[in-house]
Structure 1
């Protein structure tokens, strides 16, 4: 009797699941039909109108056509004036419109294999650190287990020394030159652009700001021209890569027929914390060696050989709020040891920054069908029922690929949930975190390189790069693929892409 009732209960559950699945499939196709209808509504309305015009035109006799031509000849002055006005307006439009910014190519630094730092070695290095107590070591071990980092992430030479020694300025400069020149050498080789042809240079590194600056180091190394417009961004966190692209874009809109190089990185030598404050220990587990160099152009001739066109950059800054301002902060602990402190409210603040950012980005990229649903839901919520949940737009209809800053496993999980993304949409971010760790502002470029290495980037695809940084900032960049993109020579994934995606431990 019990067996029969149990079987009946299982059958009921199975029927319920099948019913729910069938309902979800029907709703999915209803929504897709609605999206297709709204997106193609102008076309569907214009087709009958064009048919009517063609039919009416076919009914015109030869005498009617001669009559129209005679009428135009009688009003020759008016016709000439209108044509001249059209030419002037067209000239003004083409001269004043914003110039397109193209991404010719980019290069991500691949550290040498001897700099790989496995979890066991990381813990051994931490145990040799005199500043860590048992509680700190236990905390670091737990963070590493849940971090999402694999066994092939890399760290600078200073972390190959056991027992650890205090970092020197020479160590930080050595790391900077290794990453910076390694990425730039590949970029110039792949694009056949001479360093002296570069008119704009933007470099960003948050923690390490030496004198001479990073940008000066690049100019000195490659003997760039004396009138180059160079900028060095510091203290702007992991979202500074998008900020650097935005600055380069603005400069390219002013200086015609120019090349701009953007280099994004973070310096690990000065990013190590040797104290016991847990909120400052997390960065030791996440940040790893990396950097990316990007070549941008506003020359229309470069469109043919470029990979992407920059469509939008949207920046959000919540620095006016005290909690947002202090949630990621470099400071000293009670023992005077310097590190970056991460607040417990970080994810909530990041969620708020994301919502603010997509409120601006949404109308620029979402199809009209999604904007209508959002608007109708918003009106219904305010007029009829305050308990109605606000509609979350489906950004999968606007973008084909997502490059979410690999700041940590929690960051990727939160965006996957809030944006209702599928596992394939966050695959590049998770695999970048696993293979390279959190490389700060350059992580979004490792993710784009992953998508290219997988052969998934097709002509017309849209890419959303989104990054978070101290301050607190949330910045987005939208790119349009101009070709079926193939991975560039020396792609950082070329020796291991066949092993990815890997199964991650929960």
Structure 2
């Protein structure tokens, strides 16, 4: 039981209740039938990482307010692609064009690595990919990452493609929804999602508190999942690791907070500048309960039936707000806080870094339920219900 209380009896454990099927007996019959399953996953980062203190020293930040933001972020280290060092030891001020070039180069490299790892874990070949969805927010690229990855890796030129651009940290679940739908409509074929975020390609170093909050939080990294819908149903091999089947999605946009997370054009700097409102954690937390309850509505499940919570590593205050509003224990969000500590906020792929940690932990049992949750601009909360 992940909330820290004594777990209530599951539907299949109650007297007179029928055992759950691998897909969950109590789910609506409208959701019956073969389901898309995550059969492989992978992550990748740039080569270089920095502690928060190292970042403060590298950029010679002395302002005590800014130093406090960095050092009280619950982040220890982030992987970043920093500007080149100049002869005087300072860092080059990158133009918007140079930032976009960084986004392209590092996004392709880490995205390709994560994709190949996901396919290897799934026992699939590059030639097996029938659908490729690429998600990013840290730069504008046309054609998108999907076309570049097909060229870079030699993926099938006949693969269907989707590029999700500009939706923000929540976009990993928006993309996963589309990938799951394609997978369900094309059983037996492999569908892949890649979240490639180069957050250091969206940094502005102007010494203001606005940009310093962003610069203290985000890190670079890519994550990928491979999905297949098996027409015969979920694998029954007891020796194999359980695959997470996608059962349901639920969303909640908060229109009155549309400006709380956004890109603005900075005329003085000649580049885009990301803004985070200080009230974002409380806005997200206040609506988390509503969207989770809607996700579970009609399934016969309650929050006490959820074994695993994989929440976007949006920041310490965001995680705390979600935890309080949903009544989750620190243990329930251990992977969320662990990813924040070791990588920072990785934008759209953060929840997949947590998914990888959960699966590598080896505690997931067949029949377990999980909730995936991402949050981002809109303001938006996306959720998904998974069963292993």
As a proportion of its length, which structure holds more strand? 2
Count of residue pairs brought into register by the alignment: 361
**CA-CA distance at 1:460 after TM superposition:** 1.6
Q: Which has the higher contact order (CA 8 A, sep 6+)?
A: 2
CA distance, structure 2, for counterparts of residue 447 and residue 160 of structure 1: 33
**Alpha-carbon separation, structure 1, partners of 2:105 and 2:279:** 35
Stretch of structure 1 that moved more, 199-208 or 268-277: 268-277
Residue 347 of structure 2: aligned partner:
440
Say whether 1:313 aligns with 2:249.
Answer: yes
Q: Structure 1 residue 453 and structure 2 residue 384: aligned?
A: no
- Give the structure with the higher percent helix: 1
Q: Which of these two proteins has the greater Rg computed from alpha carbons?
A: 1
For 1:57-456, list aligned pairs within 5 A: 98-112=33-47, 115-127=48-60, 137-150=63-76, 152-158=77-83, 162-165=89-92, 166=94, 168=98, 169-300=100-231, 303-304=234-235, 307-319=243-255, 321=256, 324-333=257-266, 335-336=268-269, 337-365=271-299, 367=301, 395=303, 397-456=304-363
The residue number in structure 1 matching 2:26 is none
- 1:315, 1:474 within 8 Å by CA — same for their partners in 2? yes
**TM-superposed deviation, 1:163:** 2.2
CA contact (8 A) 1:272 1:284 kept: yes
Change in 2 beyond 3 A, CA 1:335/1:110: closer
- Give the Å deviation of 1:42: 7.3
Which region of structure 1 is more displaced relative to structure 2, 409-418 or 301-310? 301-310
Distance 2:348 2:376 in 1: 9
Write out aligned runs for 1:47-62 (5 A): none
* C-alpha distance in structure 2 between counterparts of 1:364 and 1:402, whole Å: 19
Give me the whole-angstrom Cα distance separating, in 1, the residues matched to 2:85 and 2:181.
Answer: 41
Assess if the C-alpha contact under 8 Å between 1:158 and 1:171 holds in 2.
no
Give the drift of 1:121.
2.1
CA distance in 2, matches of 1:404, 1:444: 6
Give yes or no for contact 2:295–2:384 (8 Å, CA) kept in 1.
no
1:480 matches 2:387: yes
189-198 or 281-290: bigger deviation: 189-198
The one-character-per-residue Cα deviations of 1:257-286 (angstroms, maximum 9, x if unpaired) are 321000113122421112244233211011
How many Å apart are 1:362 and its aligned residue? 3.3
Deviates more, 1:295-304 or 1:437-446: 295-304
* 2:262/2:275 contact within 8 Å kept: yes
**Deviations 1:375-401, CA, capped at 9 Å, x for gaps:** xxxxxxxxxxxxxxxxxxxx2x12111
In structure 1, C-alpha distance between the alignment counterparts of 2:155 and 2:357, rounded to whole Å: 31
Q: 1:359 to 1:458 in 2, by over 3 A?
A: closer
- Cα-Cα RMSD: 2.7
The 1:365/1:405 distance shift into structure 2, 3 A limit, reads: farther
In structure 2, do the counterparts of structure 1 residues 245 and 164 end up closer, same or farther at CA, with 3 Å as the change threshold? same
Q: 2:144, 2:162 → 1: CA distance?
A: 9
Q: How far apart are the structure 2 equivalents of 1:233 and 1:463?
A: 24
Question: For residues 314 and 160 of structure 1, do their structure 2 counterparts lie closer, same or farther at Cα, with a shift above 3 Å needed?
Answer: farther
State which drifts further: 455-464 or 183-192: 183-192
Q: 1:97 to 1:347 in 2, by over 3 A?
A: closer
User: Is the contact between residue 407 and residue 438 of structure 1 (CA under 8 Å) also seen in structure 2?
Assistant: yes
TM-score normalised by length of structure 2: 0.85
Report if the CA contact (8 A) 1:366-1:398 is conserved.
Answer: no
Q: Distance in 2 between matches of 1:160 and 1:402?
A: 41
Is the CA contact 1:331–1:340 (under 8 Å) kept in the aligned structure 2? yes
